[in-house]
Amino acid sequence: MRALLHFILRGQVSCGLLLAAASAIPLLVWLAAAGGSLLLLRRGLAASGPALLLALLPTLAWWQVADEPRMALILLGSFALAQVLRRYSSWVWVLLCSLLTGAASALCLKLAFSEPLAAQNAQLQPFLPQALGTLYQQMSEAEQLRLSELMPQLLLGVLATLLQIASLIGLMLARYWQALLFNPGGFAREFHALRLPKSVAFSLFALLLLMPALSATGAVLVPLCSLPLLFAGLALVHGKLAGKAGGKFGLVGLYLSLLLFMQLAYPLLVVLALADSLFDFRGLKTRKGHSASNPDI
């Protein structure tokens, strides 16, 4: 593994060709995203530019020939967020900038997949009364119509959010690799310390609530705005379980819950992130210890 990572960090044409070979295969696009992000984090945009361009070429070909933009959007998202992380050394900035890359992805997806998304929405509409049950029956006709208008935008937002999750995972893997080579344990410390400021967390939560009411198009941003809160919630759980007996089993249970019970686990992590922005649960023990050792304070 280390030999492969050092090979990528050379940034030569051979490295670019390796990344291009990975990006040409849909199932390996994550490897190209992580490898290119590692190169950018370590060497900067100017030095890594040619290799990154080579990595992008197969995905751009997929976009042009097969009208399939998702692989290119994952790479572009990872590389853009890697540049943000290199520039600001802040995961909060990375998560906030993921809103911009996510909105750009949503626009590209809307242009590329307008007909499939419309067909998918048409298939889902008849299931709304069954999915919502009595809640749907209690809605007025105007509210039911409004919900029908929001559905295609929410679908588009969910798809764009999934791409941003893939981009962020690629970047996190790159940061883990960078720490493995040059700063062992550094990525874990960074991620465990991730906490959204109160103003940021509650601004995102307000957008979650208000955007669908302001415009149907604004519903695209609802899943995207939840993404920074999701990752902040994950960072909180990782930080609290780090180094504890059974911590790894707890994390396995967390991600299994996300896969099997996402409709419950996802909102719970969002609520945890909001609460942590207020109370700083990871710093609570430190503050208690400080107060105990300084009783006059």
Specify whether 80 is located in the same domain as 170.
Answer: yes
Alpha carbon distances (Å) from 191 to 88, 194, 249, 294:
15, 5, 19, 30
Instruction: Of 6-15, 86-95, 176-185, 189-198, give the lowest mean pLDDT range.
Output: 6-15
Residue 113: what are its φ and ψ, rounded to 5°?
-120, 30
Specify whether 282 is located in the same domain as 185.
Answer: no
Quick check: is 156 in a domain?
no
pLDDT digits (tens, 9 = 90+) for 77-108: 999 999 999 999 999 999 999 999 999 999 99
H/E element, 91? helix 91-112
State how far the Cα of 69 lies from the Cα of 283, in Å rounded to an integer. Answer: 42
Neighbours of 286 (CB within 10 A): 10
Q: Which domain holds residue 252?
A: 195-291
State how far the Cα of 53 lies from the Cα of 79, in Å rounded to an integer. Answer: 11
For residue 247, what pLDDT is reported?
87
Instruction: Please tell me the total count of domains within the chain.
Output: 2
Give residue 133's identity as a one-letter amino acid code. G
Q: Is the pLDDT of residue 294 over 60?
A: no
Contacts of 15 (CB under 8 A, 6+ apart): 7, 8, 9, 35, 39, 51
Specify whether 56 is located in the same domain as 169.
Answer: yes
Q: Is the pLDDT of residue 293 over 50?
A: no
| Mean per-residue pLDDT, 225-253 | 92
Specify whether 53 is located in the same domain as 6.
Answer: yes
Q: How many residues does the chain have?
A: 297
Last residue of a domain, one of 193, 214, 238: 193
Last residue of a domain, one of 154, 171, 193: 193
Average pLDDT of the chain to the nearest whole number: 89
51 close to 36: Cβ distance less than 8 angstroms:
yes
Quick check: is 134 in a domain?
no
Quick check: is 270 in a domain?
yes
Specify whether 41 is located in the same domain as 178.
Answer: yes
Q: Is the pLDDT of residue 151 over 50?
A: yes
Torsion angle (degrees, nearest 10) of CA 125, 129, 130, 135:
140
